[in-house]
Structures are given as structure tokens and as C-alpha cells.
Amino acid sequence: MPLYIATRLIVMGCCRLPIPIGVVSSGASESRASVILYDGMERVVKNESLVVIRNKNGGDVLAICRGGRGVNDNVRTASFTPGIAYAKTGRAPSSVKEFYIFNLEIIGMIGENGLEQNKLIIAPTSLVEMYVSEDDPMKYLCKSDLTIGHYWAEPRWRVPVLKQYINYHIGIFGVTGSGKSYLTRYEVIPLLRKAGYSVIIMDWKGSDYAPYFENTIPLDQVKVDNAVVLRYFSQLTKNFGYLEREENPVSMAVEQALRRVEWRGRPPEKAREMIYQHARMVLEQNSRGVKAETFQLWIDRLNSSFELITEEEVERFLGTIEPWQILTMAKERGIVVIDMSKGEKEQKLAAFYSIARYLKRLMENKQKLDVALVIDEGPQ
């Protein structure tokens, strides 16, 4: 019985040893090597197979099989050979000189505390063994109860994650349909919850998360900052008719109306009328000592602006649920989804700005939040 077949049957405790698959070829370095496969192993070893190199120069080295190739000198195409003559006539050339090689991408040397940089040249003829499903080579990455996803084609090999790195920004990128939202929904969010984080999800399309979680808040119920509302109205009306002039009497009057009138939570037609009337009152109060034609210009521009600030525009901002209430809900229930499916781009950004600004203010005050903000389709 060949040595590599016999070794496959050895058992240590409840775990089988990795399968010997070949030896390191000549030309290896500390960061790259190739393995000459034992006869028959070309049908077992695959691209992305995870292996361990028993380096004769010292230590065990974790590596990945990538870029395999078959070699047979009898069918070299650089010159005419007997093997090519056989192939031309439809006969099988000799396979006596045939062998298979896989390139090995080095991950690191297996140390007592996990993986370390491999600094030793990998000796030719060093034994190479392949991990099987019953093994768990992911344990060499780090020691953690937190995991995300699994290694290619090995569901049992969960990838460990160190908790201290979770509070850094996480970016998930890919083309449309590649599974970004699926990964976030079924791997990232459970990881965040297990790590002790509450989660606020901004579901831009309203279809990636809202249907899968219980605690959902429609976008039009979220209260946004008055400054954000004023900025939106200003963009809508080209700065209330003053174009490039940032400060103007109409803008200041509308800002005071937004701050002083209890317009949220009311029917849109009522809310719009309340904002308009209060802004007009502010302009009248500020008109003392102002020429009559100047005051009339203020009123004309206020009226023109409110022809654009329709009931539908005001309705976007009638929500009464404030950012602190959303944070409290997330703390109490674990996960809260903001369903943004029915909002326009400006309304979505307004809600995002309000929530993000509130959380940022708390962080700047050194308050520990333990909350994760998930933004899906944010670039839109």
C-alpha cells in the first residue's frame, strides 16, 4: 500500500490527519512554492484546496493551491517528438513521464499563537498535506467565538473574527446581484448582534431588510432636522429666489417658522399653511424701517417659493420619530430597519443625515454607543 494512502487512515483522537498529497518541487522560496502531486492526487486536489507544508527547514506552513498544471515531456510542442507522432495518428502517447503540479500561495507559518510570517525558505521535497472537511484549519487564523462565513466549499470551516476589529468601518462591495445584501443580512448583522452591538439599518430600497425583520419604521415617520428641511426647501426654490445669496430674509423667516411652529404630525395641507403664515408674520415683523417695495419683494418671493413647496413636499418631513427614539428602540429590540422605499433621494438623505449627525454628536461627547449603522445602497 502506498505511504500516502496508508497515512489517510491514521486517526488522532477524533480528528483525521491531513492527507499527504505530494512534495515541494525545486525553486521554492519563503513566500511561494509548488507541489509535485503523488500519483492519483490530481483527481483529489483542487484549486483553492488548503494545505500544510511540513517544511524541512523548520515549522509548518499554511498555503493555498492555485494554478495547477500537467506536465508530459512526450507531448511537448517545442519540437517534434515520438509522443506527438503518436498523437497525430490517434494513438495515446506514453504517460510514463507525466506528472502534475500545483502552485502554492503561502499564507503563513503556524505558530503557537496562530499564523506568523514565514521567514524560512521552504525546502524542496518537504511533505505537503491537504486538509479535509473534518479538519478545522481556520483555528490558526485567530481564537474567537465570533465567526463570519466559511472557507470555499467547506461550510464547517467558519472564519473567525476578532471582536476588537469589529468597531472599524466595514465595506462590502460587488456588482449588482453578487450577494452584498444577502451577506449583510445573514452573516454581518448576526455577527454584529453576537458581538453585542445594536443595529440600525437604512434600507434604501426597502426590499433587502424590511421584509425580514420585525421592527421596521417607514421613512415618512422619521423626524429630520429643521436644518435639513430648510436646506431641501432652499434647493427646491433656488435659495428662495435669491440664487447665490446664502443669507436672505425669506430663508431666515422660513427657518424661524420651522423651529417655532408645531407643524409635524399634522395633515400636510395644515402643516404647509402653518409654516407659510408664520414665515409671513416674521417678514412683517422685520419690515419696520424697510421700504415698501423691498417688503413686497420679500412677500413675492415667499409666495413664489411656496408654489414649489407643495403639500407633497411638506409631507416628506412630517415624521415625529426622533433619532434618539430610534436609538432607544434599537437598544431595546436589537435591530431596527428604516424602510426608505417610498422616499425620494433628498428625503432619504435627510433622514440619514439626521440619524448620523445625532450618533456622531454622541460619539464626540465620548458616549459609548455599541450600535452599528448599516447603510445599503448608500451611494445612490
Q: Are 292 and 238 within one domain?
A: yes
Q: Is 146 inside a domain boundary?
A: no
Secondary structure in 3-state letters for the chain: CCHHHHHCCCEECCEECCEEEEEECCCCCCCEEEEEECCCHHHCCCCCCEEEEECCCCCEEEEEEEEEEEEEHHHCCCCCCHHHHHHHCCCCCCCCCEEEEEEEEEEEEEECCEEECCCCCCCCCCEEEECCCCCCHHHHCCCCCCEEEEECCEEEEEEECCHHHCCCCCCCCCCCCCCHHHHHHHHHHHHHHHCCCEEEEEECCCCCCHHHCCCEEEHHHECCCHHHHHHHHHHHCCHHHCCCCCCCHHHHHHHHHHHHCCCCCCCHHHHHHHHHHHHHHHHHHCCCCCCHHHHHHHHHHHHHHHHHCCHHHHHCCCCCECHHHHHHHHHHHCEEEEECCCCCHHHHHHHHHHHHHHHHHHHHCCCCCCEEEEEECCCC
Q: Is 21 inside a domain boundary?
A: yes
Neighbours of 270 (CB within 10 A): 13
Yes or no: say if 126 and 59 are a contact pair by the CB < 8 Å rule. no
Q: Are 214 and 233 within one domain?
A: no
Angle at 88 between CA 84 and CA 89, to 5 degrees: 120
Measured CA to CA, the distance from residue 356 to residue 373 in angstroms comes to 8
Q: Are 119 and 235 within one domain?
A: no
Q: Are 106 and 190 within one domain?
A: no
First CA to last CA across the chain, in angstroms? Answer: 63
Residue 279 burial class via C-beta count within 10 angstroms: exposed 0-12, middle 13-18, buried 19 and up? buried
Q: Are 43 and 115 within one domain?
A: yes
Q: Is 345 inside a domain boundary?
A: yes
Cα 303 to chain center, whole Å? 46
Say how many domains are in the chain: 3
Q: Is 159 inside a domain boundary?
A: no
Q: Which of 136, 156, 181 is the last residue of a domain?
A: 136
Q: Is 143 inside a domain boundary?
A: no
Q: Which of 233, 260, 243, 236 is nearest to 317 (CA)?
A: 233
Q: Is 331 inside a domain boundary?
A: yes
Q: Which of 136, 156, 176 is the last residue of a domain?
A: 136
Q: Which of 202, 211, 210, 207 is nearest to 374 (CA)?
A: 202
Q: Are 214 and 348 within one domain?
A: yes
Q: Is 306 inside a domain boundary?
A: yes
Expressed as residue numbers, the domain containing 289 is 226-315
pTM (two decimals): 0.76
Tens of pLDDT along the chain (380 residues)?
343 333 333 333 344 469 999 999 999 999 999 999 999 999 999 999 999 999 999 999 999 999 999 998 877 777 777 777 777 777 777 777 889 999 999 999 999 888 999 999 999 999 999 999 999 999 999 889 999 999 988 999 999 999 999 988 889 999 988 999 999 999 999 999 999 999 999 999 899 999 999 999 999 899 988 988 998 899 999 999 998 776 799 999 999 999 999 999 999 999 999 999 999 999 999 999 889 999 999 999 999 999 999 999 999 899 999 999 999 999 999 999 999 988 778 788 888 888 999 999 999 999 999 999 999 876 55
Yes or no: say if 131 and 50 are a contact pair by the CB < 8 Å rule. yes
Q: Are 214 and 325 within one domain?
A: yes
Q: Are 203 and 331 within one domain?
A: yes
